């Protein structure tokens, strides 16, 4: 059997699948068919602000420049508000799909990707925190494809671009740099992050707020102050298993472990500011997605089984949390 036509056909099928999913999910998010997210009216208001502006640099907004520039470009193309929102969502899906090359899209990986992503990530990111969704997609694209530890200018610049869509993405640069270091040194530095956060969180918050005024709005946001939310506890269990399997992890999975450890360090050092802890925890959950999908492709049936069990459990738990316990979508 000639494998080349087969691989090309598989790649084409993968591209077609991702394209169809991007269109469907873009329409769902743009029209908010599943319910109106809390942030959706704010984004529509922002789109109107951009549309009424005289130029890109005349837009007075708290939103990051990269996101503002993207919306300005889409507005200049004549797109309506729903189309702008849906196009950005579709782009995020396509970017993640571009990272997972067509030849890697086995039926099992597709099943896990669709269920796990839709149940845990789609409502939170594409449906709600649109700016963070773009940063999340860029991070997935960079870290999923990581197969060596050396610093690549293109990867670093992409992560810098992610910061222009959501300021919290600056933590991705820290993970990228830590992942290049010997594991023990990375752990010590992560412990230092935790200690500095605990000792100087008030000062750090005040200093960062002077540079990023949007942080002031976080103090008015109601969020659960649970010390360890149950879905995050499950993530920590995954992290423990990943640490135990450290030597069996490939490069991308090891970066993912560092990202999960960073999430834990920030979460427990910022308990006094639960919304800050939640924002970083949400963005850093990209490493959970990467680890699970990589684990599902492992040659070990045990690791595959653990990945499937986690995807099912975490997916259902997060879906319940976002739709019943603390609904993100209204009406």
How high is the pLDDT of residue 273? 81
The tens digit of pLDDT for each residue in 113-139 reads 789 999 999 999 999 999 999 999 999
Q: What share of the chain is helix, strand, coil (3-state, %, to 5)?
A: 75, 0, 25
Whole-angstrom distance, CA of residue 8 vs CA of residue 3: 9
How high is the pLDDT of residue 311? 94
How high is the pLDDT of residue 113? 77
| DSSP per-residue codes, 100-154 | S-GGG--HHHHHHHHHHIIIIIITTTTTT-HHHHHHHHHHHHHHHT--S-S--HH
Kind and range of the H or E run holding 263: helix 251-269
> Which one-letter DSSP state was computed for residue 325?
I
227: tokens are 């010390």
Q: Which residues of the chain have pLDDT under 70?
A: 1-4, 6-7, 10, 102-106, 204-225, 331
How high is the pLDDT of residue 103? 56
What is the four-CA torsion angle of 85, 86, 92, 94, rounded to 10 degrees?
-160
Nearest to 322 by CA among 24, 35, 26, 21: 35
Residue with tokens 């010390």: 227
Kind and range of the H or E run holding 43: helix 40-51
Kind and range of the H or E run holding 60: none
131: tokens are 């700016």
> Which one-letter DSSP state was computed for residue 56?
G
């Amino acid at each position: 059997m000639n494998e080349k036509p087969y691989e090309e056909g598989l790649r084409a099928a993968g591209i077609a699948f991702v394209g169809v999913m991007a269109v469907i999910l873009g329409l769902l998010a743009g029209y908010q068919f599943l319910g109106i997210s809390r942030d959706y009216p704010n984004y529509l208001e922002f789109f109107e602000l951009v549309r009424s502006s005289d130029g890109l640099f005349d837009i007075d907004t708290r939103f990051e420049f990269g996101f503002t520039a993207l919306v300005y470009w889409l507005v200049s193309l004549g797109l309506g508000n729903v189309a702008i929102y849906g196009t950005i969502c579709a782009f995020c899906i396509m970017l993640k799909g571009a990272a997972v090359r067509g030849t890697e899209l086995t039926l099992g990986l597709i099943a896990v990707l669709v269920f796990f992503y839709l149940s845990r990530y789609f409502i939170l990111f594409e449906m709600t925190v649109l700016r963070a969704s773009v940063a999340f997609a860029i991070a997935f694209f960079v870290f999923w494809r990581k197969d060596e530890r050396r610093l690549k200018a293109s990867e670093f610049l992409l992560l810098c671009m992610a910061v222009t869509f959501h300021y919290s993405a600056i933590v991705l640069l820290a993970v990228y740099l830590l992942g290049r270091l010997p594991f023990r040194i990375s752990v010590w530095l992560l412990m230092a992050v935790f200690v500095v956060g605990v000792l100087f969180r008030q000062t750090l918050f005040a200093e960062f707020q002077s540079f990023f005024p949007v942080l002031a709005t976080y103090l008015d946001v109601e969020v659960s102050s649970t010390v360890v939310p149950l879905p995050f506890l499950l993530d920590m269990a995954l992290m423990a298993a990943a640490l135990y399997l450290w030597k069996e992890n490939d490069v991308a999975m090891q970066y993912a472990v560092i990202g999960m450890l960073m999430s834990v360090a920030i979460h427990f050092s910022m308990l006094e500011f639960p919304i800050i802890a939640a924002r970083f925890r949400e963005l850093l959950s990209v490493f959970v997605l990467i680890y699970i999908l990589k684990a599902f492709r492992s040659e070990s049936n045990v690791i595959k089984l653990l990945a499937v069990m986690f995807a099912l459990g975490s997916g259902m738990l997060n879906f319940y949390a976002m739709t019943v316990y603390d609904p993100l979508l209204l009406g």
